[in-house]
Structure 1
Amino acid sequence: MVQALSTAISTAQQAPADLAAHAWISRVQASAPLVAQGPLSGLTFAVKDNIDVAGLPTTAACPAFAHLPQESATVVTRLQQAGAQVLGKTNLDQFACGLNGTRSPYGAVPNAFHPDYVSGGSSSGSAYVVATGQVDFALGTDTAGSGRVPAGLNNIVGLKPSKGLISTRGVLPAAQSADCVSIFARSVGLAAEVLAVAMGHDAKDPYSRVLRLLSRPFPEAFAFGVPDVLQFFGDALAEQAFARAVRQLQALGGRPVTVAYAPLAQAAALLYESALVAERYAAIRSFFDAHEKEVMEPVRSIIASGRQYSAADVFQAQAQLQSLGQQAHTMWTDIDVLLLPTAPTHYTIEQMQADPVALNRNLGTYTNFVNLLDYAALSVPSEIRPDGLPFGITLVGPCASDWQLAELGQRYHHATGMLQGALATPLPAPTTIPHIDTTPWSPA
């Protein structure tokens, strides 16, 4: 079992090494042949356990669902062909249904800075092993914020690409039309390097698409949106940290513009509070109908709620989402990028388990709408709060703004002077973000 590194930021409390076990489900016993030459040669990565790796069980944190794939997911294969080595699979909220990291029979994944606090989810284990230095980067998935919330709560980068940019073939769906493979790293530069390899059209993925990423950085004097209504659920430290983040972005040349958050919040609510939740049920329908009692609460109730809706209900919800998307789209005429807290607060594992639905919903306050409205997003560390817990911000842009977000996000991250994850290691030198419309990387 891979153990957590003992080194930590002096202001943080490092989780005991044995808690690292909760982040790992299985490790590779016999590594695949390494590629001697490739853009990611020498790097190691971990894979969220709803993504197939040939020869390792895919459990989605549900032992009854476990099966042994013979073929790796497209994204895993691309990374291996580029020279990266898989070290193992990571724990998650069961069936990627949650934003907190406590919904797993393998145990709650602790926060990398304080073991009493949640790691965020559903890509909890992937964030933890990156933050604690056990791998160079990790793959997660993101439907409602699962690739961003754990990043914000663990002081690492969470890159949520435009939908369809990275193939989801070989990834167990959560809500297939909204699913993305996400990338965790301790620096924006490395996350961008991984994206450059991982992206590419896959004709065998029904939601894959050819996207021409915007190649120009945001202008030197750019406008960034700030919600007109901000909710931190009584967390004054988070509120103060976000105010400092606004000032930090201004120092980089940004001009804050107040934007209406209501259409975004209303779109976010549709994910679980409308017929759109039926897509979660559809994703594992045959297994769920046969093994419902093998699914843990509250995941079971959330997925089961999708049964109650008719096809007409789904079309009605989709039309409502389209309408809200039209309303929200007007903000892009006034701003280049949207600035949000990645998560509005921190919760302890005990608090989350006592009130798992409401507190989980709170963690998704600023994430749930992004995939529904076809945006790209990047979560970047912002500061370590006075209580020793991380605070992260998210930069959101229109579809295909991935390189633009990475360029600005890297500048922001380095301006903070932060250390990497939960390690006493300075950030590496900034890298050149590929602001060019290149053909996606492919092995020779």
Structure 2
Amino acid sequence: MAILVLVYIPYIYIDKKFRRRLFNLEFDTTEERRQAVACASNLSESSKLEEINITNSHNFLDKLFMDFSEKFAKKSIDTWKEWMISDYSFTLVTNVISFGMLAEVIRRLFLKLISIGDVTFWYRTIESFRNTLDSFISSVNDVLESALRYKDMYTLFAMESTFKDGSVRVSKFKEGPEIRLDNVSFKYPRTDRYVLKGLDLRIKPNEKLAIVGKNGAGKTTLVKLLCRFYPVDKGGIYVNGTNINEISSESLYKNMGTLFQEYNTYGQLTAEENIYIGDTSKPIDREKVEESAKSADCYSFIQDYPNKFKQVLSERYKGGIRPSSGQWQKIAIARFFYRDAPLVIFDEPTAAIDPVSESKIFGNIYKFFKNKTVIIISHKFSTVRNADRIIVIDGGVIVEEGSHEELMAMGGFYAEAFKLQAEGYN
């Protein structure tokens, strides 16, 4: 028995070695695997197949996926082969030892040193002992392998936020809040370039403010700071006089509705649910859903769907249909009409919408959000001309500010860009 135990000791380390090697293979190829899976996802999403077919890029994406899969499979198979050879070799050794032990038992039987009952006892004892050792070592190495994975999981869950959440809880604002930016500067993590540089801005309660500027000027970055996705490096942002870093995220977001350039589409949900998800804190108000759809100019095409507001919005599901990009954007806008937050931020809200619908939607935005603070970012100057105030950001600072008429009279960036767009329509 002692010999059998001694043989199992190196097996513990051999088994552990191959388990770790497979884990390291998965860990070390994480980034490559993510890229390969993304390629496979591109090839399985119907919305992306149109461009893939036109550009004939199917083979390119397929090759990226297959190259990784074949490389990963080869390394995995090679490791498994080595492991199985080691495992079979160990099994052979333990079988030889077990047979040797049984041979000794049978020898003693022939010498009449033990009885047939003793032979049966020793045979069962040896087999039970081997099975117990196998089970014990397998359990130990299962635990050790799990520990490798749990260690990463623990590290993930133990991570702390890069900046602490605020402790001040604010109630739902009865009207649009005042927002003040005092000497705000910001650069993204692991970069040295400041996107915003000493920005000073006061947004009045219930004001409709439009922000325009070139790509990379810092417009969307400003939105991310207002949403507290990043802490301000220098200066401060104040909401109704309270530093935004001191306000709890939960209570801040209850007062905020933000439509980003890359808005969410929930194809597994119905049209009604896609609008209702804007505010799920209360039971669904179907009348409000329909009013929101009308304000976003999506009521008519939803009514044309076979199941109307109960229509699932993806062809991946039985009976589902796929809205166009413009229709999806209108549904996303309806979601924020439904949310009806005191502070509303639209980042390029009508990029995929036709001019007629765009005019209707912005007319409804200015009317519906009458007692709200509204911030609109857009490259289309026709959509911002009716804002109470327009600011032009360039290089992270405000370079122009005023109403549409005032900015046109200045003859600066805004006036030049407006005229260029107008000439395009002419």
Question: What is the TM-score when the length of structure 1 is the normalising length?
Answer: 0.25
More helix by share: 2
More contact order relative to length (CA 8 Å, sep ≥ 6): 1
Question: What is the TM-score when the length of structure 2 is the normalising length?
Answer: 0.25
**Structure ID, larger Rg:** 2
